[in-house]
Amino acid sequence: MTTTVCHVVDLPVENPWLNGLATHHDRTRFRHLVVSLGPRSELHAGLERRGVQAFALGARSRRGYPLALARLVALLRHEHVDIVQTHLFDPSLLGLLGGRLARVPAVLVTRHHSDFTTLFNKPVHRWLDRHQALRADLVLAASEAVRRSMVELEHVPPGRIVVHRYGYEFDTLRPQLTPEARCQLRRSLGVEGGGPLLAVIARLSTSKGHRYLFEALPQLRDAWPGLLVVLSGTGPLREELEGLVAASGLTGAVSFLGWRSDAHRIMEAADVVVHPTLHEAFCSVIIEAMALERPLVATDVAAASEQVDTGETGMLVPARDPRALGAAIQIVLADPTAADAMGKEARRRVVERFNFPKMVRLYEETYDEVHAGSGSRRG
């Protein structure tokens, strides 16, 4: 018997998690549908190319949610959905309600964030997150850190939460630059005289902690005068961060690249990938740096310690600690041979732990258990 799982999302672009699920799921036992709250987009086309039906509810803002909810309920009934799985905040609000109104046997909420509602003082959001967790049949957390924050900060019973980490396509997520292409890219980014290149791939927002790297740069520039930091990403803090760089006398040491389609190649060209974030649930930049065999220095927040074996596959330091961040970067830069070995070991371990087939099989085990349980409840 085939189990029909309907994912309720609100994503306008292709999503690696959904694409991986669409590609690797057992088509003899599971049928996946994806429903977006908003209008059709490249997300739908990408999923349909992989043989997964994708629907759009057409809501362009929250004012369109009542009609979207009615359409969702009708769709769930028409497609005889066995399990609804929601992703992110608004889809969980509508997906939970729609699943209950349509009498779907089981509704699962996927939690993709950890402690940001506490970190950034959002008590209403935190209360609603707890409400969703308690009314779902099960919560699927992206990491142990997410599960821990739900238990400690939202007081969700531990038995309602199962941890399923993300998967990645490592056949395509691998080093690709030849030595010549790497040198050419470094020159195009502004590296001169063989100086070290640090890459930060992150949205320009408070939660990503760029300012703490800037505070660490003077000590690094003393040791490596030609050091350059490139920032790939856009966000609301760009003007403020540019002002901070100028005020600190670091204009020549930091380059704002904006959004780059070749972010993976920039990471590959770097001597160190730095991720000074204050908050993550399960950080894809960490996984990507490791898969690309790059030496990594990141802050030890949320799931970082579940991804990185510090000292072996990367360096983890406390958040908001410029001195520790700078010291770790110095250790990596001072020994290129050890850094190269660390990068190669990082790829070996990350491919073993976080591949898509492993992730999908774990999800399917959970679907089987939930479906069997809902069947016994109906009986």
Report, as an integer, the average pLDDT of 341-366: 97
**Which stretch, 7-16, 108-117, 155-164, has highest mean pLDDT?**
155-164
Please determine, for residue 379, whether its predicted confidence score (pLDDT) is greater than 60: no
Q: How big is the chain by its Cα radius of gyration, in Å?
A: 22
Report, as an integer, the average pLDDT of 107-128: 80
Over residues 128-169, the pLDDT tens digits come to 999 999 999 999 999 999 999 999 999 999 999 999 999 999
Please determine, for residue 322, whether its predicted confidence score (pLDDT) is greater than 80: yes
Tokens of 59: 């809501």
Amino acid at 132: Q
pLDDT attached to residue 115: 67
Three-class SS of residue 230?
strand
Torsion over CA: 135, 107, 365, 173 (sign) = negative
Strand order in the sheet with 30-36: 53-56, 30-36, 3-9, 83-87, 106-111, 138-141, 161-163
d(CA 181, CA 266): 11
Lowest mean pLDDT among 11-15, 17-21, 29-33, 323-327: 11-15
Which among 220, 306, 310, 260 is positioned nearest to 212, based on CA atoms?
220
Which among 205, 191, 296, 297 is positioned nearest to 253, based on CA atoms?
191
CA–CA distance from 184 to each of 1, 335, 342 (Å)? 55, 23, 24
pLDDT attached to residue 291: 98
- Position 1 confidence tier, pLDDT thresholds 50, 70, 90: confident
Tokens of 71: 């359409």
Structural domains of the chain ordered from first start: 3-167+355-371 (3.40.50.2000), 179-353 (3.40.50.2000)
pLDDT attached to residue 157: 96
Please determine, for residue 186, whether its predicted confidence score (pLDDT) is greater than 60: yes
Amino acid at 370: V
Please determine, for residue 63, whether its predicted confidence score (pLDDT) is greater than 70: yes
Comparison of pLDDT for 160 and 13, the residue scoring more: 160
pLDDT attached to residue 376: 47
pLDDT attached to residue 118: 64
Report, as an integer, the average pLDDT of 335-362: 97
- Position 111 confidence tier, pLDDT thresholds 50, 70, 90: very high
d(CA 118, CA 154): 10
